[in-house]
């Protein structure tokens, strides 16, 4: 299984903190997000991705604690038992 | 009378921990919403020495949340004002002022136990983290609207902040910030600073994500 955790505004939008989906061999983060959107009744990808499928600035996605910016971005491959966390950190002080 | 100043908190954390606060040296980077409250709480608790870093002047949009300043301070530099106000609260805390911004040329003090990231933009935060001496704890706070986060990193041990928050957005223009959220996040930062000084950080490599919209808190391990 892959555990997906939602924080802050995404948690409120989706009305849940986490969801588990069966792992699919070779699946990328982008493919997982598309699968997740199909499963959930609330559209959320527009909060994360531009029309061309690239990531908005704002929300960070961590796979096993590591920001996908430093992995292979949305093309990062996932494995069974991975934890994917999505979080839009506040910038102000 | 002055011996009674800390009587109520010593009942909670004891004399030994009070001494740890008295021995503490903490740098507050940024004297805006977070920094004004973090510095005030540390001084009230009896912190030994604070370094304050800022280069701003007080403006009207600051007054909703920057608790050290008032209407009569508009146009004045925050740094000397903060020292004046903090010293009036507790004259036993040594306060050292560092005027300027966090940039590549910033000279970090070498006697720090902890750094409080009370800045308002990620590029300065990343530099602050990079400049923090090895082994020193950095407590990050950030907020926007009715959500925020607190995270502790230890230089040399934790992932760099620039890696954790890569892709974090610095919105164009003013960021929405309310007085209640600022005080909540600042209070959590100070609670964590105390925990660090007492030798038991609670948020090391663990981001506490706070939402005032529904009073929700959650941990995000990083």
Beta carbons of B164 and A92 less than 8 Å apart? no
What residues of chain A have any CB closer than 8 angstroms to a CB in chain B?
5, 7-9, 11-12, 17, 55-60, 62, 65-67, 69-70, 85, 87-93
Domain that holds residue A27: 2-87
With beta carbons under 8 A apart, name residues in chain B contacting A57.
167-170
ipTM of the complex: 0.91
Distances (CA, A) of A88 to A62, B132, B144, B162: 11, 25, 10, 15
In this structure, is residue A92 part of a structural domain?
no
pTM: 0.95
In this structure, is residue A93 part of a structural domain?
no
Spell out the residues 6+ positions from residue A66 whose beta carbon is closer than 8 angstroms to its own: B159, B163
CATH class entry, domain B2-221: alpha beta
* Residue-wise pLDDT tens digits, A42-71: 888 888 888 888 888 788 999 999 999 999
Which residue bears the tokens 């000084």?
B197
Gap between the Cα atoms of A91 and B123, Å rounded: 10
CATH code, domain carrying A6:
3.10.20.30
| Number of domains, chain A | 1
Domain ranges of chain B: 2-221
Give percent above pLDDT 70 in chain B: 99
Gap between the Cα atoms of B169 and B182, Å rounded: 19
* Residue-wise pLDDT tens digits, B148-170: 999 999 999 999 999 999 988 67
With beta carbons under 8 A apart, name residues in chain B contacting A62.
164, 220, 222
Question: Residue B1 has what pLDDT?
Answer: 57
Give percent above pLDDT 90 in chain A: 73
Taking phi over 0 as left and psi of -120 to 50 as alpha, with beta for the rest, A81 belongs to left
Taking a C-beta distance cutoff of 8 angstroms, is the pair A32, A2 a contact? yes
Give the pLDDT mean for B39-55. Answer: 98
In this structure, is residue A44 part of a structural domain?
yes
In this structure, is residue A36 part of a structural domain?
yes
In this structure, is residue A25 part of a structural domain?
yes
């Amino acid at each position: 299984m892959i555990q997906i955790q939602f924080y802050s505004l995404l948690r409120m939008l989706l009305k849940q903190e986490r969801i588990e989906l069966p792992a699919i061999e070779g699946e990328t983060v982008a493919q997982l997000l598309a699968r997740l959107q199909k499963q959930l009744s609330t559209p959320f990808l527009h909060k994360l991705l531009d029309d061309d499928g690239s990531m908005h600035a704002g929300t960070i996605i961590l796979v096993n604690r590591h920001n996908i910016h430093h992995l292979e971005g949305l093309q990062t491959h996932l494995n069974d038992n991975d934890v994917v966390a999505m979080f839009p950190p506040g910038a102000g002080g | 009378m002055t011996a009674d100043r800390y009587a109520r908190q010593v009942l909670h954390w004891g004399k030994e921990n009070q001494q740890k606060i008295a021995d503490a040296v903490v740098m507050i980077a940024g004297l805006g919403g977070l920094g004004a409250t973090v510095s005030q709480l540390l001084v009230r608790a009896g912190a030994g020495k604070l370094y304050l870093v800022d280069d701003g002047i007080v403006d009207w949009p600051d007054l909703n949340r920057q608790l050290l300043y008032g209407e009569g301070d508009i146009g004045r530099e925050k740094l000397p004002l903060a020292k004046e106000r903090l010293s009036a609260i507790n004259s036993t805390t040594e306060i050292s002022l560092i005027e300027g911004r966090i940039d590549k040329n910033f000279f970090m003090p070498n006697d720090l136990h902890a750094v409080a990231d009370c800045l308002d933009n990620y590029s300065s935060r990343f530099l602050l983290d990079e400049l923090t001496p090895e082994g020193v704890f950095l407590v990050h706070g950030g907020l926007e609207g009715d959500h925020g986060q607190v995270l502790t990193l230890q230089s040399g041990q934790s992932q760099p902040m620039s890696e954790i928050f890569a892709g974090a957005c610095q919105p164009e223009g003013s960021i929405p910030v309310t007085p209640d959220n600022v005080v909540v996040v600042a209070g959590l930062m100070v609670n964590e600073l105390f925990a660090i000084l007492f030798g038991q950080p609670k948020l090391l490599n663990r981001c506490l994500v706070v939402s005032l919209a529904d009073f929700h808190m959650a941990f995000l391990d990083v």
